[in-house]
Structure 1
């Protein structure tokens, strides 16, 4: 048994020596200094989910519906940040009469008449005014808007939703959810 182990040890030593003597390598290049901040190297502090695609929805306005709840825009804070602004990218024949964020990791949202929005708002939990909201690293948020279509217009359109954020170290960006929402009086206006 002892001679078997000695033979195995000798074979390993010889093979290691043979491999080492046959290898030549260039010395590793010196690491280049970097000037980026740690948070910049880690990527943006706030991101939107990828792969969701473009969602387009047309809602037929009903008599007396009034305002509408939109909660379909989701984003994630990968680092601590401040939400500088959030709302429609381009809006025609409608206005925003309320803008909030809520912590929410679900990947679904809704467009519904405000008067029927209670149960959806309850599922979201506490709403924080969007402008100036503190975003905490590791948390997923949902943009919640109260939209008011102009009743006299045949159609109200919202082309995209923007989320503008910044960090204490100077990072910042505007992210756009490409969702298109149409609020129309009839199917032909959709």
Structure 2
């Protein structure tokens, strides 16, 4: 078992649904976790597929909630966004962009391959100072309420398994294989350095 609490991060594109659902579950289980988005802005489903609602990462969840409430309370209640924003506000004030964070983590979970690519590219572009390893693991999570809940359970299972490993460097791949067999999901995994 690691001699210190693992520092975890979960990253999706907008720090809205998938990363925040996992953040919520992991926090309730007592993990040290932060969540982020890797996109250039926060994009939410709008009234049509071609008209998303777009916010800057500096916009608080409360501001988004009030804006959507004003635009169309019924629509954004039905599609679950008001519920998501209410949950998010109870966790932290606003979305955060991964590329703007200088904190260090032991394991970073991403929720789709394009986010994984962005996180790995950002970590590789940073100047290496300590050569402390960070494991980046992609768990493909469908960006729906149900998909986010299922993805959060898988990420939580992986984190609980990580608590029991003797050697994070040597045992993470074995844990990923065991969870792959159990869930039928495959994971991407790479090691970057700070």
With the shorter chain as reference, the TM-score category is: under 0.3
Report the TM-score when normalising by structure 1. Answer: 0.26
Question: Which structure has the larger Rg over C-alpha atoms?
Answer: 1
Report the TM-score when normalising by structure 2. Answer: 0.26
* Larger helix fraction of residues: 2
